[in-house]
A and B are shown apart, each in its own frame.
Chain A
């Protein structure tokens, strides 16, 4: 037994060493480009390609301040946080309702609709921006005519300036931002519903029965039983959709018109001119955009693993 014990311990040590070596190599490969990005953000435009060192001799910390100011990050970052929060919140609610319905409730067409969502994951729609844009603008015109229609009524209570301001706000801020939010909710909907449905399918029926006996309505079951159990899946879709919205700019440019409604990627575009790209500022800007996502991920990843013992992610 004693001999076996020693051999066993050595074997375990060697195994641990190999595992740690493997993990370290992958860590370096993972982190290296990131380190390169960080070190580039501290160099100057003229040395950024000639200086090969990872730690620049004279780090230019002011690049970060300059990028922040030049890229108007406080506006764009606020916008991004705004959009991301609303979109993620919206997706979690909407997709969990839908996934719960597809999984546990019967209604006509549930199979059909679910398969449509699945198909949407697989069929990308290039060129969809044209009909989308036309639709968005048609609706905008309808809303504007509607506003014109009720303006005499409003003019009785408010001054003309106020009415104009309200209308202008609705047309230029409220409407495009809302459309963008709904558009982004749609983008993440299919995958979120798919993940949540597979999760809800594994939910033990007994808990549901118990809640129903206690007099819980369907909404109550959703809120008190399904959602807490689905926490890991919800964490996954939170992360996934946060990433999607945070890194998105094509739809934003299409739908939004005001500069102060644009998300973060717009700030980065400022450094990528038609003729000149200001690389150090760009790298500094990118580093600043990565930090908030990292924070969200750190907050969410605890949920992924914590709830694991209570139920499987997929079965």
Chain B
């Protein structure tokens, strides 16, 4: 009995050793800072004075303040808005492109390269370029609108509270659809051609083929793309700083910019950490919501 036991344990340890490097690195660079950040969120600290836990501890007061902070929740809504636009337009576009490229054999490689160029650019660069395009004085967008004769549409895109956030969402989608495209295209390519042939023989038109054949098989891929989109869009901030500077009177704030403002601007490190924890909780709730939805669709 003991021999079998020790052999079993040995095997388990051997299995563990496969995951060990990852776990060790993760423990050092994520778990330890995680507990530290959580500890800091319970304190009132400015980030500069020497940190003494007993001295700076204030309990859950930071969290109470976060829940009452109207601007924080507004910024959360802005991030959700950007995410919604990304989930709908960006992913619809990616899907349409993937479907188109799935059918066209010619030049497919060409398009695969082209559509992946926006994600390659760093967010700083993208923000800079689109700032030029949207600019009220020198902007290319206004320039081309005037050439096309649509003067009245020429606008101060980034200084107008009604259009600023949408412009940012457009830039984010522009940068992001390449990822969705690649993943969706890969997923589409796994669907065996015979299914399409069989459906055509049965007399189905393109739309029915799409609904009955493509969509059910692609649902797991859709879910993966959605999760990645949600996580990526909620955390956008470098793009916003790059394109807008410090933002337009709270209209273009997102959670991460608020956290940075608390941390470096008002030197409220503990409060910033509390904001970070709350943000993490929101993201987890969103992701679990996604998973529930996925389970529902799979059972269908």
B-contacting residues of A (Cβ < 8 Å)?
A: 16, 19-20, 22-23, 26-27, 29-31, 33-34, 36-37, 49, 52, 93-95, 97-98, 100-102, 105-110, 113, 116-117, 119-128, 130-132, 135, 182-183, 185-186, 189-190, 193, 198, 218, 222, 232, 236, 243, 247, 265, 286, 290, 293-294, 297-298, 301, 304-305, 308-309, 311-315
Chain B 44-57 against A: per-residue CB contact (8 Å), 1 yes, 0 no? 00010000000000
Q: Is the CB of B259 within 8 A of A232?
A: no
The answer to whether B23 touches A23, judged by C-beta atoms less than 8 angstroms apart, is no
A98 contacts across to B, CB distance below 8 A: 18-19, 21-23
Stretch from B9-17, B61-69, B81-89 at the A interface: B9-17
- Interchain nearest-CB distance for A189 vs B (Å): 6
- Cβ-neighbour of A185 out of B25, B112, B115 (below 8 A): B25
Given the contacts A105-B15, A107-B19, A122-B280, A49 and B138 also touching, CB distance less than 8 Å: yes
* Interface residue B92 (Cβ < 8 Å from any Cβ of A): no
Known: A98-B18, A106-B15, A128-B36. A36 touches B287 (CB 8 A): no
Chain B: CB-nearest residue to A95? B22
* Bound CA–CA A130/B22 (angstroms): 22
Measured CA separation A184–B199 after assembly (Å)? 47
> Once bound together, how far apart are the Cα atoms of A305 and B47, in whole Å?
49
Residues B16 and A107 in contact, CB atoms below 8 Å apart: yes
Residue pair B190, A125 in contact (C-beta under 8 Å): no
Q: Is the contact region of chain B dominated by helix, strand, or loop, or is it mixed?
A: helix
Q: Is B42 an interface residue (CB 8 A)?
A: no
Complex interface residues of chain B between 223 and 282 (CB less than 8 A to chain A):
224, 231, 235, 256, 259-260, 263, 269, 272-273, 275-276, 279-280
Whether, in the assembled complex, B132 has its beta carbon less than 8 Å from a beta carbon of chain A, the answer is yes
Residue of B nearest to A222 (CB): B18
Q: How far apart sit A36 and B18, CA to CA, in the bound complex (Å)?
A: 48
A16 and chain B: residue at smallest CB distance:
B104
Tell me the chain B residues, 103-139 only, with Cβ under 8 Å from chain A: 103-104, 111-123, 125-126, 129-130, 132-133, 138
Bound complex: CA A126 to CA B185 (Å) = 34
Residue of A nearest to B259 (CB): A126
Bound-complex Cα distance A247 to B119 (A): 11
A131: chain B residues at CB < 8 Å are 32-33, 36-37
The reply to whether B29 and A182 form a contact with Cβ atoms under 8 Å apart is yes
Whether A33 and B133, one on each chain, are in contact in the complex, defined by CB atoms closer than 8 angstroms, is yes
Contact status A313-B97, CB under 8 Å: no
Residues in B with CB closer than 8 Å to A189 are 22, 25-26
Interface contact A186-B100, CB-CB below 8 Å: no
A88 to B99, CA, bound (A): 31
**Chain B residue nearest to A34 in the complex (CB):** B117
Asked if residues A313 and B187 are in contact (CB atoms below 8 Å), the reply is yes
In the complex, what residues of B have CB within 8 A of residue A20's CB?
Answer: 104
Q: Measured between alpha carbons, how far is A52 from B126 in the docked complex, in Å?
A: 19
> Do the beta carbons of A126 and B120 come within 8 Å of each other?
no
Given contacts A107-B13, A308-B189, whether A130 and B18 have CB atoms under 8 Å apart is no
A33 touches B37 (CB 8 A): no
Which 4 pairs, one residue from A and one from B, show the smallest C-beta to C-beta distance? Answer: A123-B280, A131-B36, A98-B22, A128-B33
Q: State in angstroms the CA–CA spacing of A78 and B125 once bound together.
A: 21
Could you pull out 19 A-B pairs where Cβ atoms are within 8 angstroms? A19-B100, A26-B93, A27-B114, A33-B133, A97-B19, A97-B22, A98-B22, A105-B15, A120-B26, A127-B273, A130-B47, A186-B26, A243-B119, A294-B117, A301-B116, A301-B182, A304-B182, A308-B190, A309-B190
Tell me whether B104 and A19 are in contact (CB under 8 A): yes
